[in-house]
């Protein structure tokens, strides 16, 4: 497992996780949405990798990562049953947030041929129970059965890298990070625009 990023996420208060998710979503142009009362924020790299967060009013959360180039890309060759199994032991009310929902850039669906039911594809499935983050047991079981490294194959490090967990989260640090990773929106003049986003989400106030 990718202990550094995982441990850093677990050490971050969920309110701060939500704020970072909102900031990164806005900077990357992904409009937040409401799903059955949950707030959905997302990131994608326009190349097949994505991160999706759902924050529910009672303080719990669902986190999905997707790397299209790994063996956990079940959309390519997997089945509905396999994808559903990755959500194993996640509370059903959280799983309902990804059942029978419209597709979007970050979340494509696999369909049950017998019932027509759909579920969002995700390589990594994680959830916050109100006290701590957990990896979904179904996700871990699938990786063990297939001999896969859970964090490596789920793209966990890459998909969460931009949130700077375990690192200072300032507009200056984020601009430098995005410049180093070749993002076009980190060109000259980006700092002022990103500072406005930070201010809207309560940083520096």
At residue 181, the pLDDT reads 86
Query: What residues contact residue 85 under an 8 Å CB cut-off, 6+ apart?
Result: 138, 141, 142
DSSP β-bridge partners for residue 67:
49
pLDDT in tens, 103-123: 999 999 999 999 999 999 999
pLDDT in tens, 15-28: 999 999 999 999 99
Q: Of 10-19, 129-138, 194-203, which range is least confident?
A: 194-203
Three-state secondary structure string covering the chain = CCHHHHHHHHCCCHHHHHHHHHHHHHHCCCCCEEECCEEEEEEECCCCEEEEEEECCCCCEEEEEEECCCCCCHHHHCCHHHHHHHCCCCCHHHHHHHECCCCCCCCCEEECCCCCCEEECCCEEEEECCCCEEECHHHHHHHHHHCCCHHHHHCHHHHHHHHCCCCCCCHHHHHHHHHHCCCHHHCCCHHHHHHHHHHHCCCCC
Query: Could you tell me which of 179, 155, 180, 189 has the C-alpha nearest to residue 48?
Result: 155
φ, ψ for residue 30 (rounded to 5)?
-100, 115
Give me the residue spans of the domains in the chain.
3-167, 170-205
Residues 8, 23 contacting (CB under 8 angstroms): no
pLDDT in tens, 168-199: 999 999 989 988 888 766 566 688 888 999 99
Structure tokens at 105: 């850039």
Q: What's the whole-number mean pLDDT along residues 31-55?
A: 96
Please compute Rg for the chain using Cα positions. 17
First to last CA, the chain: 36
- pLDDT beyond 50 at 1: no
């Amino acid at each position: 497992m990718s202990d550094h990023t995982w441990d850093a996420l677990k050490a971050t208060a969920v309110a701060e996780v939500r704020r970072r998710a909102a900031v990164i979503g806005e900077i990357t142009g992904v409009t937040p949405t409401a799903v059955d009362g949950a707030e959905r924020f997302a990131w994608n790299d326009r190349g097949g990798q994505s991160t999706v967060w759902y924050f529910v009013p009672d303080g719990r959360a669902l986190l999905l990562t997707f790397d299209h180039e790994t063996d956990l890309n079940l959309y390519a060759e997997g089945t509905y049953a396999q994808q559903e199994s990755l959500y194993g032991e996640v509370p059903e009310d959280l799983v309902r947030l990804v059942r029978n929902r419209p597709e979007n850039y970050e979340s494509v669906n696999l369909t049950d041929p017998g019932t027509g039911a759909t579920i969002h594809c995700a390589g990594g499935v994680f959830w916050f129970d109100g006290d701590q983050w957990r990896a979904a047991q179904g996700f871990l079981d699938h990786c063990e059965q297939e001999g896969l490294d859970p964090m490596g194959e789920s793209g966990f490090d890459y998909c969460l890298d931009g949130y700077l967990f375990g690192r200072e989260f300032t507009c200056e640090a984020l601009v430098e990070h995005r410049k180093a990773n070749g993002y076009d929106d980190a060109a000259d003049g980006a700092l002022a625009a990103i500072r406005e986003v930070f201010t809207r989400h309560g940083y520096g106030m």
